[in-house]
Amino acid sequence: MKRFLTILVVGAISIMHLGPTESALAADAGQDLKKATFAGGCFWCTEAVYAEIKGVRSVTSGYTNGKVPNPTYKDVCTGLTGHAEAIEIEYDPAVVSFEKLLEVFFATHDPTTLNRQGADVGTQYRSGVFYHDDQQKRIAEEVIRKLDDAKVFPSRIVTEVTKAETFYPAEDYHQDYFANNPLQPYCRAVAAPKVEKVRKVFKDLVKDKP
């Protein structure tokens, strides 16, 4: 069932007409790196997924769109700071577009569960696209509308689309967590299957092995 949903997501987004692609605009304008900020549950998983993608120069795990300055992991885990566990991506839009990043996003987490991803429950685990410009906002809203209209998921998407606010990098031990702790039980049970899915489904987007 999960593989079938992934195929539907990829197919639905790939046939959408979203106007000039970010990649095309980047090539015309000679743009530098851009930022994308996503929340899709535990940031160990989302970081591990995007570390695989060509054109992604860096992925930082952290906390975004909350009301408490300089939160710690312990603070965010209370669910009281308003922050989401998120990742901030620096990417080259001439290599990978925002549309493609969204394709990976919706294929590798459940965007229909409010404030929850599997056993991880709380507002800090909400699904969110935190846009950095009007183009990202437009694309994200249109992708969600099209996926809902096509009934790709059994329930409506609850992913929030909100302007990116201050992003606080998480503590050092959270960075590259999956790469540094592949045998940790949570990583083996939750993060590793997502990474394997990306390597199989998005072969053309995955970085070449060194």
pLDDT single digits (tens) 40-49: 999 999 999 9
> Is 125 a domain residue?
yes
Q: How many domains does the chain have?
A: 1
Structural domain contains residue 61: yes
* Cα separation, 160 vs 197, whole angstroms: 24
List the catalytic residue out of 42, 45, 77, 187. Answer: 42
**Contact of 157 with 147, CB cutoff 8 Å:** yes
Q: Is residue 209 in a domain?
A: no
pLDDT in tens, 100-124: 999 999 999 999 999 999 999 999 9
CB neighbours of 165 closer than 8 A, spacing ≥ 6? Answer: 64, 65, 66, 130
Which residues contact residue 10 at a Cβ distance below 8 angstroms, ignoring those fewer than 6 apart?
Answer: 103, 107, 201
> Domain range for residue 167?
2-204
For residue 42, indicate whether it is catalytic. Answer: yes
Whole-angstrom CA distances from 149 to 62, 143, 156 are 32, 10, 9
In this prediction the pTM is 0.88
CATH number, residue 44: 3.30.1060.10
Q: Which parts of the chain have pLDDT scores under 70?
A: 1-31, 210
First to last CA, the chain: 33
Read off the pLDDT of residues 181-196 as tens digits, 9 standing for 90 and up.
Answer: 999 999 999 999 999 9
210 assigned to some structural domain: no
Domain annotation covers residue 141: yes
